[in-house]
């Protein structure tokens, strides 16, 4: 009796804990366990003051019954309950007292205190198939007001048009979007292939969203195809469905307003070359019209201007120079790069083949350390071309005013050269797949940051060449590598020598890194020497002209002083500092503004000579980035569509199949579907304990968990 009395007193004291203290305690619970913990407390302590909010802050759906119950609760919370609803809904409305059903849905009737649209922050779908995906669409649209994280499993029956309907309207508070596709089937059928539809339109819709500083993480993962069985190879075989068909939808997203602030990107498309769509853009070039518009200069648009983390595992990289180098060059702020199972490193097959592997690993280290040199060379070349084009246009205008017309052939050659510089090559597409014709279907125009320099619907900038005063020379200091980790997971046969092989690869990478850093140091010192010579020549010219020029011309000459610059921290959105009424057909007087806009295009900032030397010393003391060769993703996928033996549907590839006597309803077919590992599949295996703390694999696990 004393023990029972003590238990009742303890339970009574626990029930008296205020709601604020419960809220503080439950904030320490991980989001994945918050709902189950709050539900357990509500069942064990029915009179406790645990807030119902914790049941709905992070919602995870694993079957149709949970989804329908959630939709019913949403109708109650919004006051839109329909008396003609299902029997399940009517049973929840019998009492105004809070009740908890078997799914943990606590019903308050039409109590306005529980507005799920303001409570829910995370929504995840952990099922590869549902009876009705329209319910899922309605639920997400009702919860979209404050959703921060959306995590969806997309199986073979999930239609592209349904996914597009979810993202047709922008979700302004969204921070992370995770889409995992498993279109793998074990049987050729019409339904899983979805009539040849693809999910390109979803990325096109995301590219149309307005700019957001909150949306920083995007994950699009297609599961690997299942392993080929011997019977499959001998008899029929199945070409598994694909997710993306037009890879320029990735480029549209990269150049869009929403893509500007994406910091973390995971894009896994097995066996496809993602290098070109992530590094090349021939459709969204920025056009600068000089003078009256007869001369144009094209500048490449920045792709994902603030990217810090990139994971393109399971894709294909053709080589170090053609695959890895462009990615490192395009994204100067990258800190973690994960390229597991991309065939970049092919283990040696015999003893004499080891040197080939070592050369590849050393080259990876060298390029990682010295990639800033290539980036600086490309930017300097663009500036020189831009400067020459402006001077040529200025000369043309002056010759025209003096009555001297430049030769038509010379003008034609200049225009031809300008068009040739950035025109895409004809013939076979640079993308791996598919081939397309330019006039069949143009890529979707996105809301790009290139439209905000001057308010113009054509994304053009007009400069009056005669009035431009530009620096005589620009010297761009190569930026050091910002990589913290480079993960190039490669499968090695598990034997006693695996650890030794990986250690040898790490040593070879460090050797290549040291060679690249030596090259980087030499290049920076050469740039400093060139800068000293350039400034000395300019200072002598200034002393010579100081007494010969009037005050206005001397001030103009001072604006031509050479500039020492480097790539800054990030890509900023360009300001609309020129009003519409200032625009004129023949250009505007921008003077220094032309140079400043070129600077903003490439995020260039001025840097002092002493600061360059100081940063160089710090960079040379920096340790080598973590080079991880342990793969953190599966080598093969699993089937998400595996019917029973009794489910004998029509094989559309065989004309001698007999039509079944009775047409089954969709519900009957879905009830018999069984996945190879249950309705929910483990997202990933446990992370390998051999990963370093700074490894990008661990960073990704924390980011996407």
Helix/strand/coil (H/E/C) assignment for every residue in 100-130: ECCCCCEECCCCCCCCHHHHCCEEEECCCCC
> What integer pLDDT is reported at residue 618 of this predicted model?
93
Spatial distance between the Cα atoms of 483 and 475, rounded to a whole number of angstroms: 24
Q: Which residue has the tokens 């693809």?
A: 198
Helix (H) or strand (E) holding 597: helix 592-601
> What integer pLDDT is reported at residue 410 of this predicted model?
52
Spatial distance between the Cα atoms of 160 and 241, rounded to a whole number of angstroms: 13
Give 340's DSSP letter: T
pLDDT, averaged per 10 consecutive residues of the chain (705 residues), comes to: 52 69 78 77 73 82 89 75 40 36 42 69 90 92 90 89 92 94 70 65 94 95 77 53 85 93 95 92 73 72 92 94 94 95 89 90 96 93 86 76 54 52 48 41 41 34 55 91 95 82 95 96 96 93 84 82 84 39 34 67 88 94 94 81 49 39 44 38 55 92 89
> What integer pLDDT is reported at residue 39 of this predicted model?
80
Share of the chain above pLDDT 70, in %: 67
Q: Hey, what are 86's tokens?
A: 């299902």
The conformational region for residue 618 under phi > 0 = left, psi -120 to 50 = alpha, else beta, is alpha
Spatial distance between the Cα atoms of 208 and 551, rounded to a whole number of angstroms: 50
Sheet with 604-606: strands ordered across = 474-476, 563-567, 604-606
Query: Is residue 98 packed enough to be buried (19+ CB in 10 Å), middle (13-18) or exposed (0-12)?
Result: middle
Nearest to 478 by CA among 599, 574, 567, 357: 567
Q: Give 687-705 pLDDT, tens digit per residue.
A: 667 788 899 999 999 999 8
CB of 300 within 8 A of CB of 421? no
What is this structure's pTM? 0.79
Could you tell me the residue ranges of all domains in the chain? 1-116
139-144, long-range: CB within 8 Å, 24+ apart, which pairs? 139/67, 139/70, 139/71, 139/74, 140/166, 141/166, 141/169, 142/71, 142/74, 142/78, 142/116, 142/117, 143/59, 143/74, 143/116, 143/117, 144/117, 144/169, 144/171
Q: Hey, what are 3's tokens?
A: 């023990």
> What integer pLDDT is reported at residue 571 of this predicted model?
54
Q: Hey, what are 633's tokens?
A: 């993703």
């Amino acid at each position: 009796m004393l023990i029972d009395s003590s238990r009742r007193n303890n339970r009574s004291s626990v029930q008296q804990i205020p709601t604020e203290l419960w809220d503080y305690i439950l904030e320490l619970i991980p989001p994945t366990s918050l709902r189950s913990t709050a539900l357990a407390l509500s069942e064990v302590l029915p009179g406790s003051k645990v807030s119902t909010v914790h049941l709905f802050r992070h919602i995870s759906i694993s079957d149709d019954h949970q989804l329908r119950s959630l939709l019913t609760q949403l109708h109650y919370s919004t006051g839109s309950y329909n008396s003609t609803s299902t029997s399940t809904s009517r049973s929840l409305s019998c009492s105004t007292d809070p009740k908890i059903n078997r799914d943990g849905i606590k019903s308050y009737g039409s109590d306005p205190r529980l507005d799920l649209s303001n409570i829910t922050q995370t929504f995840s779908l952990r099922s590869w198939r549902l009876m009705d995906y329209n319910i899922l669409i309605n639920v997400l649209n009702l919860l979209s007001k404050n959703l921060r994280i959306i995590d969806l499993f997309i199986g073979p029956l999930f239609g592209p048009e349904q996914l597009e309907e979810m993202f047709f309207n922008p979700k302004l508070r969204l921070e992370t979007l995770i889409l995992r596709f498993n279109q793998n089937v074990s049987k050729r059928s019409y339904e899983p292939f979805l009539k040849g539809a693809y999910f390109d339109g979803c990325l096109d819709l995301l590219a149309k969203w307005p700019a957001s500083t909150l949306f920083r993480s995007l994950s699009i993962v297609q599961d690997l195809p299942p392993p080929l069985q011997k019977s499959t190879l001998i008899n029929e075989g199945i070409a598994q469905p694909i997710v993306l068909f037009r890879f320029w939808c990735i480029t549209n997203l990269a150049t869009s307003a929403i893509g500007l602030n994406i910091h973390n990107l995971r894009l896994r498309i097995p066996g496809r070359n993602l290098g070109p769509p992530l590094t090349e853009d021939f459709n969204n070039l920025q056009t600068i019209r000089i003078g009256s518009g007869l001369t144009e200069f094209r500048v490449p648009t920045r792709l994902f201007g603030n990217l810090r983390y990139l994971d393109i595992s399971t894709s294909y990289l053709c080589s170090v120079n053609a695959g890895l180098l462009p990615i490192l060059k395009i994204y100067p702020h990258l800190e973690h790069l994960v390229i597991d199972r991309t065939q970049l490193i092919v283990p040696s097959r015999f003893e004499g083949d080891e040197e080939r592997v070592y050369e590849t690993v050393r080259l990876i280290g060298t390029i990682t350390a010295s990639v800033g040199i290539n980036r600086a060379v490309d930017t300097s070349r663009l500036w020189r071309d831009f400067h020459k084009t402006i001077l040529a246009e200025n000369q043309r205008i002056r010759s025209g005013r003096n009555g001297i017309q430049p030769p038509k052939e010379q003008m034609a050659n200049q225009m031809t050269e300008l068009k040739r510089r950035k025109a895409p090559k004809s013939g076979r597409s640079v993308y791996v797949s598919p081939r397309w014709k330019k006039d069949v279907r143009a890529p979707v125009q996105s809301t790009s940051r290139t439209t905000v320099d001057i308010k113009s619907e054509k994304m053009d900038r007009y400069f009056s060449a005669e009035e431009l005063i530009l620096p005589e020379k620009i010297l761009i200091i190569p930026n050091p590598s910002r990589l913290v980790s480079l993960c190039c997971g490669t499968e090695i046969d598990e034997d006693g020598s695996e650890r030794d092989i990986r250690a040898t690869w790490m040593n070879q990478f460090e050797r290549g890194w040291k060679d690249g850093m030596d090259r980087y140091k030499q290049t920076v010192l050469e740039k400093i020497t060139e800068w000293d010579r350039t400034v000395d020549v300019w200072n002598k010219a200034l002393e010579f002209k100081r007494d010969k020029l009037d005050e206005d011309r001397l001030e103009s000459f001072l604006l031509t002083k050479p500039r020492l610059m480097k790539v800054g921290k990030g890509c900023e959105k360009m300001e609309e500092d020129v009003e519409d009424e200032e625009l004129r057909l023949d250009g505007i007087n921008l003077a220094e503004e032309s140079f400043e806009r070129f600077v903003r295009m490439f995020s260039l900032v001025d840097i002092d000579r002493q600061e360059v030397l100081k940063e160089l010393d710090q960079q040379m003391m920096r340790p080598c980035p973590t080079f991880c060769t342990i793969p953190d993703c599966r080598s093969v996928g699993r089937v998400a569509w595996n019917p029973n033996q009794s489910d004998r549907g029509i094989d559309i590839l065989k004309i001698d199949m007999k039509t079944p006597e009775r047409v089954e309803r969709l519900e009957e077919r879905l009830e018999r579907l069984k996945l190879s590992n249950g309705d929910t599949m483990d997202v990933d295996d446990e992370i390998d304990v051999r990963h370093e703390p700074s490894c990008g694999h661990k960073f990704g696990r924390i980011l996407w968990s």
